[in-house]
Amino acid sequence: MTKRLTILIAAGAAILVAATAATAKSTDTTITGAGSTFVQPLVAAWTPALGKAFGYTIQYSGVGSGAGIAAITANQVDFGASDAPLNEAQQTACPDCIQIPWALSATAVAYNVPGAPAHLKLDGKTISKIFLGTISNWNDPVIKALNKGANLPDLKITPVFRSDGSGTSYNFTDYLSSVNTNWKTKIGTSTQPAFPAGQGAKGSSGVAGLISRTSGAVGYVDVAYAIKNHITFAAVRNNAGKFLFPSLRRIEAAASAFTTVPANNAISIVNPPKSAKLAYPVSTYTYIIVHKRSAHAAELRKMIFWALTQGQGTQFAAKLTFAKLSANKKVLVAAEKSLKQIQAAGN
Amino acid sequence: MIEPGAISLRATGRGRRRLLLNRVAEGSAVLAAVLAVAVLAVVIWSVGSRGFGAISLDFFVKGPSSDFFGGKGGIAPALAGSSLLVGVATLIALPTGVLTAIFVSEFAPGRASQQIRLWLDVLNGFPSIVIGIFVFTFISRQSAFAGGSALAIIMLPLVARSTMEVLRLVPTELREASYALGVSKWQTVIRVVLPTSFGGILTGTTLAIARAAGETAPLLFTCAIAGQTVDWNPSHSVQSIPLTIFNYSESADPALHEQAWAAALVLILLVLVTSLTARLVLERSRRKVGLQR
């Protein structure tokens, strides 16, 4: 009997040794991250390639931009990812956090209306009124006027929004604030806006799921999720008067319309001026957020540089509707410059 | 002498009512018992029929696909993570629980042992979400170690209470025989009492493991921000089966819904197998104690 007990203790010790051995081996190369579900498919596509290039294991958790910022602020992870730049309070909470734009894409206005055309035409005012609840039926004359000849049913509109803190919400409300002053004063731009109407869902995937399950729903989600779940999305009118649905060229057109990059890298590219004829108006940069002093500084620098350069390659980005950062050289230069600020912790 | 037929053997009046009531009560008791078992059967069947289609070799050995548009992938990170979490929890709860039980049943004075028993039962009924928050306030960085600690708190009363029960089953004669040979008390505990109740301790631990493997709430705060590949590092936050079920069920992708059901099926089977094995082992060790008597 004592023999058995000895065996048990030996087995326990063996497990402990194995566990510590595994720890020693993996701490060198594992980089943890959390945040945006918007950029999650891209990070997932990068992960195997980064493994091959540097031997890094990226452990990324799509918990939403808001939770990602909280996680990097609390040092839970090596990097956070957010489609919204840090706001003042968040920057104060994490004074040595810097944000670096590392991908470029757009938010689609996706809908589930049986019988409606593949790309309904909508403009910013109409979208904002739908989400304010003042336009509440798909056969509303305003929508009909934008879509002459389209078959629009007598169907209640169910706006679908992100219930968790989300950079996609930020991007979307940033756009609505820029086209509708009423929206700007009532709701404003936020990662967690107080939507007056509709239903909430968690994560990009949750929003896509709720839209595809709900007849009459309209929501905002990044393009890749809409395409994956076979949800139709709107052609949104830009300032040049063109109705465009998001595509690589149109996102790049929006990015190149804004030429100044502020010191904190926060660049809003919604609702570009008239001159950008081909620009999709709900485009956004998405950011990686890191501490200037990081235990994995060298690895992070390498990883982010790779993401800014090779990571933009068509084999990763294009099919997920992520446009090339080089569409705006100034942003790329600013991003690469910011990398130098990441330094090893402890000096 | 009373003529046959003068007294009817049929119950009448109050007797009849009692008989009827008895039947109704017995019937509903049987029905309730059948229902309780039926619920289990229905749960297993409905989870099985929905999730069985997703089960393949890939489901067990692969992580979520890195290709957003295609490739099903599997739940290997969750399986590894749950094993790691339960492993950490067992390493903490098993020694603590067994030592608690030994103290209570062998060394503590009567009143103290009664108190400890009571508080262990209270801990056993504690809401698991509170335990999660509690651990999070002490270890604010999410990790498998934090998650395992939370699960250990859930396992601790189960291990301790079941160990107490089996220690009580160890015949007094065995202890007396040991003392009679001049063996000291602690040696008696280690050499005689513990080995005799080995099977019972194993059973209690296995049941506690089955319980911990299915816990979701304590992990929400302590081990939820996790990557998509297998990770054996206890200082990292890892995936777990229950949280994977939760996350996948909220997704838009029907393939992930099916995987959520399949993960639930795996969890149920895991719990069923461990519980049944535990019972078998307990039965065996009971018989052994009986023979030694």
Q: Residues A300-326: pLDDT tens digits?
A: 999 999 999 999 988 888 889 999 988
Total count of domains within chain B: 2
Contact A47 B229 (CB under 8 A): yes
Contact A15 B196 (CB under 8 A): no
Q: How far apart are CA A49 and CA A57, in angstroms?
A: 10
Given B191, B226, B253, which is nearest A205 (Cβ)?
Answer: B253
In this structure, the answer to whether residues B107 and B193 fall within a common structural domain is yes
In this structure, the answer to whether residues B199 and B234 fall within a common structural domain is yes
pLDDT at B229 over 90: no
**Greatest mean pLDDT range, A230-244, B187-201, B216-230:** A230-244
Final residue of a structural domain among B54, B73, B95: B54
Query: Average pLDDT of A324-334?
Result: 89
pLDDT at A296 over 60: yes
In terms of C-beta distances under 8 Å and separation of at least 24 residues, what long-range contacts does B102-108 make, across chains too?
A: B102/B163, B102/B167, B102/B189, B102/B193, B102/B194, B104/B160, B104/B164, B105/B164, B105/B167, B105/B168, B106/B167, B106/B185, B106/B189, B106/B193, B107/B185
In this structure, the answer to whether residues B45 and B107 fall within a common structural domain is no
Q: Cβ distance A274 to A266 under 8 Å? A: no
List all residues 6 or more positions away from A321 whose beta carbon is below 8 Å from its beta carbon: A105, A106, A222, A223, A224, A227, A246, A247, A248, A251
pLDDT score recorded for residue B290? 58
Q: Residues B24-53: pLDDT tens digits?
A: 999 999 999 999 999 999 999 999 999 888
Q: Cβ distance B170 to B197 under 8 Å? A: yes
pLDDT score recorded for residue A129? 94
% of chain B surpassing 90 pLDDT = 47
In this structure, the answer to whether residues B146 and B44 fall within a common structural domain is no
Q: How close does chain A come to B54, measured CA to CA in Å?
A: 19
Provide the 3-class DSSP secondary structure of residue B7.
coil
pLDDT score recorded for residue B69? 78
pLDDT score recorded for residue A28? 53
pLDDT at A135 over 80: yes
In this structure, the answer to whether residues B163 and B215 fall within a common structural domain is yes
Nearest CA in chain A to B187: A2
Do A2-105+286-344 and A107-256 show the same overall fold?
Answer: yes
Q: CATH assignment of A107-256?
A: 3.40.190.10
In this structure, the answer to whether residues B162 and B38 fall within a common structural domain is no
Looking at the complex, does the CB of residue A61 fall below 8 Å from at least one CB of chain B?
Answer: yes
Q: Write out chain A residues lying below 8 Å of B228, CB-based.
A: 44, 47, 59-61
Contact A22 B233 (CB under 8 A): yes
pLDDT score recorded for residue B104? 92
Q: Residues A142-190: pLDDT tens digits?
A: 999 999 888 899 999 999 999 988 889 999 999 999 999 999 999 999 9
| Placement of tokens 């600020």 in the chain | A341
Q: How far apart are CA B68 and CA A208, in angstroms?
A: 14
Nearest CA in chain B to A23: B233
Show me where the domains of chain A are located: 2-105+286-344, 107-256
Query: Average pLDDT of A273-288?
Result: 93
Q: Which three-class secondary structure string do you get for chain A?
A: CHHHHHHHHHHHHHHHHHHHHHHHHHCCCEEEEEECCCCHHHHHHHHHHHHHHHCCEEEEEECCHHHHHHHHHCCCCCEEEECCCCCHHHHHHCCCEEEEEEEEEEEEEEEECCCCCCCCEECHHHHHHHHHCCCCECCCHHHHHHCCCCCCCCCECEEEEECCCCHHHHHHHHHHHHHCHHHHHHCCCCCCCCCCCCEEECHHHHHHHHHHHCCCEEEEEEHHHHHHCCCEECEEECCCCCEECCCHHHHHHHHHCCCCCCCCCCCCCCCCCCCCCCCCCCEEEEEEEEECEECCHHHHHHHHHHHHCHHHCCCCCHHHCCECHHHCHHHHHHHHHHHCCCEECCC
CATH number at residue B106: 1.10.3720.10
Burial of A284 (0-12, 13-18, 19+ CB in 10 A): buried
Amino acid in position B163: T
Given A59, A71, A208, which is nearest B231 (Cβ)?
Answer: A59
Token pair belonging to B71: 């490739």
Best probe of the A interface among B99, B166, B228, by most A CBs < 10 A, is B228
In this structure, the answer to whether residues B49 and B120 fall within a common structural domain is no
Contact A5 B235 (CB under 8 A): no
Q: Which of A25-34, A90-99, A269-278, B63-72 has the lowest mean pLDDT?
A: A25-34
In this structure, the answer to whether residues B50 and B72 fall within a common structural domain is no
Q: Write out chain A residues lying below 8 Å of B251, CB-based.
A: 203, 205-206, 209
Print burial letters for B184-211: b (CB count within 10 Å at least 16), e (below 16): eeeebbebbbbebbbbbbbbbbbbbbbb
Q: Cβ distance A281 to A182 under 8 Å? A: no
* B270, HSE (Cβ side, Cα atoms, 13 Å): 19
| Consecutive H or E run containing B271 | helix B254-292
Contact A23 B235 (CB under 8 A): yes
In this structure, the answer to whether residues B286 and B217 fall within a common structural domain is yes
Q: How close does chain B come to A124, measured CA to CA in Å?
A: 26
Q: Residues A46-69: pLDDT tens digits?
A: 998 998 889 888 889 988 888 899
Q: Which of A1-15, A178-192, B7-21, B86-100 has the lowest mean pLDDT?
A: A1-15
Q: Residues B241-272: pLDDT tens digits?
A: 999 999 888 777 788 888 999 999 999 998 88
Q: What is the mean pLDDT of chain A?
A: 88
Window A:305-344, CB contacts with B under 8 Å: 319-320
Query: Average pLDDT of B85-112?
Result: 92
pLDDT score recorded for residue B100? 94
Q: Cβ distance A325 to A331 under 8 Å? A: yes
Q: How close does chain B come to A275, measured CA to CA in Å?
A: 35
Contact A74 B141 (CB under 8 A): yes
Contact B232 A205 (CB under 8 A): no
Q: What is the ipTM of this complex?
A: 0.73
Looking at the complex, does the CB of residue A22 fall below 8 Å from at least one CB of chain B?
Answer: yes
Domain limits for position B157: 57-292
pLDDT score recorded for residue B233? 86
Query: Average pLDDT of B158-162?
Result: 93
Q: What is the mean pLDDT of chain B?
A: 88
Q: How far apart are CA A205 and CA A220, in angstroms?
A: 11
CATH class of the domain whose range is A2-105+286-344: alpha beta
In this structure, the answer to whether residues B230 and B138 fall within a common structural domain is yes
Q: How far apart are CA A239 and CA B251, in angstroms?
A: 35
Closest by Cα among B68, B218, B70 to B134: B218
DSSP state of B3: P
% of chain B surpassing 70 pLDDT = 94
Q: How far apart are CA B74 and CA B50, in angstroms?
A: 16
pTM beyond 0.90: the answer is: no
Query: Average pLDDT of A234-262?
Result: 92
Token pair belonging to A125: 């005012």
In this structure, the answer to whether residues B155 and B212 fall within a common structural domain is yes
pLDDT at A38 over 90: no
Closest by Cα among B227, B250, B221, B80 to A34: B227
Write the CA distances from B67 to A41, A60, A224, B149, integer angstroms.
8, 14, 12, 34
Contact A30 B191 (CB under 8 A): no
pLDDT score recorded for residue A2? 53
